[in-house]
Amino acid sequence: MVLKLYAVSDGPPSLSVRQALTHLDIPFELISVDFGAGDHMTPEYALMNPQKEIPVLDDDGFFLSESNAILQYICDKYKPGNSLYPQDPKARSLVNHRLCFNLSTFYANISAHTMAPIFFDYQRTPLGLKKVHMALDVMETYMQRLGASYAAAGHLTIADFQLINSVMTLEAIDFDFSQYKKIHKWYNDFKKNYPDLWKISEDAMKEIQHFAANPPDLSHMDHPIHPIRKIKK
């Protein structure tokens, strides 16, 4: 049975999985989850992912969430030995490190500043901005120390997808990160060198830009955590 990917069109974790599947030439059915309609908050969705988050991979009834785990699984199961997820323990550990760094710090800090205030009733704050710069500063240091043109190796890996999509959300809000020279070059090189993969990010960026200019009305949503913006009607 063909793999099914439950995904949103503008969420970095979903984009990274789509990019890996595309790059590895693995056929999959893309099932669009309507975030605004709360498709992911239903009891049926919770059977696939009790965290009620997107994406979810369905491999013939084996349900996997957490985009990092999905990326690792598809490489190991469908393209073992592919350089996107190296086998050598040290090389692999650097990829795993960057995936953990993105999840715990880089995307966490960036998305709180970029995405959360677009979709929910959060404000951008000086502390949030400071955390973005801290994340960028650390990433810049990792790139300097590695001395390679990619985030975790001398070639493209699954870590690049996650980190690129985090940076993409900065571009979506016109955040100037050109002072981070290594990041800036790596991000722009990705656009040039992988136009088909970048297109997946770029389409999402345009959607995010649209929502930034036209904040979505989620006032019907009863979200368990995020404050919903009140819309005057």
Ligand X SMILES: N[C@@H](CCC(=O)N[C@@H](CS)C(=O)NCC(=O)O)C(=O)O
Q: Which residues bind ligand X (CB under 6 A)?
A: 8, 11, 13, 40, 53-55, 65-67, 103
CB-wise, 8 or 136, nearer to ligand X?
8
Q: Of 98, 44, 89, 107, which Cα lies nearest the Cα of 71? A: 98
Q: Is the dihedral of CA 17, 18, 23, 24 positive or negative?
A: positive
CB-wise, 111 or 142, nearer to ligand X?
111
Q: Which residue is nearest to ligand X (CB)?
A: 11
CB-wise, 199 or 223, nearer to ligand X?
223
Which residues on neighbouring strands pair with residue 42, listed in sequence order?
A: none
Output the smallest distance, CB 42 to ligand X, in A.
12
Tally: H helices and E strands in the chain:
10, 4
Output the smallest distance, CB 214 to ligand X, in A.
19
Report the distance separating Cα 80 and Cα 82, nearest Å. Answer: 6
Output the smallest distance, CB 69 to ligand X, in A.
8
Output the smallest distance, CB 147 to ligand X, in A.
28
Return the HEC string of 123-189. Answer: CCCHHHHHHHHHHHHHHHHHHHHHCCCCCCCCCCCHHHHHHHHHHHHHHHCCCCCCCCHHHHHHHHH
Q: How many CA atoms lie within 13 A of 176 on its CB side?
A: 2
CB-wise, 56 or 153, nearer to ligand X?
56
Output the smallest distance, CB 170 to ligand X, in A.
16
CB-wise, 65 or 157, nearer to ligand X?
65
